[in-house]
Structures are given as C-alpha cells and as structure tokens.
Amino acid sequence: MTRVFTTQSLTAADIAPAFPLVQAAFPGLEFDEWRMFTARLVGEAEGARSGAMGLRNEAGYLCGLLIYRAEPHLRHGTVLSIDLFTALDVTGEAAATNALLTAAEAKASELGCSATHILIDIAQRRLAEAIAKAGHRKEATLFCNELVAATPN
C-alpha cells in the first residue's frame, strides 16, 4: 500500500497537537517555550522566508514537523536551514521521513535555495540514518556552548 502524506503550514490550532513531535526531538522542552517560539511562525504567508510545516498522514494525524528559514550561506549561496525535523508514524516512519524530506526540498526550491541543511539532535540516530539513506550527506558538525545570559545594566 502506497502511503499518502500532505504538508501544510502550521496553524495556531496545530501548536498543541505538534508538541509530542517536538518532545520526541527535544525531550526537555516545555510546552510554553514551544508555544512562544511558534507564535511568530504560524500563519506565515506562502513564500515566507521562514516558517513551520506539518506533515499529515492519510487519517489526518500530524506525524511530521519541520521548522525552516532561508538564509545566505558562504559555500552554497542560499540554503533552507531546518532547525527542527522530526517524523514519527507508527505504520511507516521511513515513508513519513521521505515525505518530509520531499516537502523540505520543494520549499527550498520555492524559496530559491541551492541546498538544504537539516539539523537533528545527536540522539536521533535512526532519523540520521534515514536522511543519509535518502541521499543527504553529513557536511559539518555543530558545536554548542550554552551561555549564562548576562543581566542588562
């Protein structure tokens, strides 16, 4: 059976149902952080340089999510940077991942990007394998050093 997925921009009504997908990628994230972050992304007009897209399966359930922004890149020109990429579907996670990758590439093309950069958490090993199997290659390693926010004077 061929799986059918649809993608659409995330709406305000999708924020709460999308949160379990976010927690799968970022287990420590609180709902209020997610809600505040997405407040500026939901309802972006088609063709916006940043946004959030949800992936739905045939039954209409949200099973994938990506957050993107088109930005200049020294090596690739304009890239579609994806800071959150997660796909979970109990009957076909690989199919959901591939559908979300296809949606990301379509969005990149729509925004005139020459490459996609997908950031996934180091713990998402199966997702990393699926993305590599789909032809994406590891290009860099991201290092993070969390800083204590300075209080304004």
Residue in 142, 147, 118, 144 with CA at minimum distance from that of residue 130: 118
In this structure, is residue 148 part of a structural domain? no
Q: How many domains in the chain?
A: 1
In this structure, is residue 57 part of a structural domain? yes
pLDDT for res 125: 87
In this structure, is residue 153 part of a structural domain? no
**Across the beta sheet with 50-56, what order do the strands follow?**
6-9, 50-56, 62-73, 77-87, 115-118
pTM above 0.85, yes or no: yes
pLDDT for res 144: 84
pLDDT for res 46: 63
Determine the length of the chain.
153
Print pLDDT tens along the chain (153 aa): 667 899 999 989 999 999 999 998 888 999 999 999 998 888 666 667 899 999 999 888 999 999 999 999 999 999 999 999 999 876 677 889 999 999 999 999 999 999 999 998 888 888 899 999 999 999 888 888 888 876 665
pLDDT for res 45: 62
Task: Give residue 39's domain range.
Answer: 6-133
In this structure, is residue 24 part of a structural domain? yes
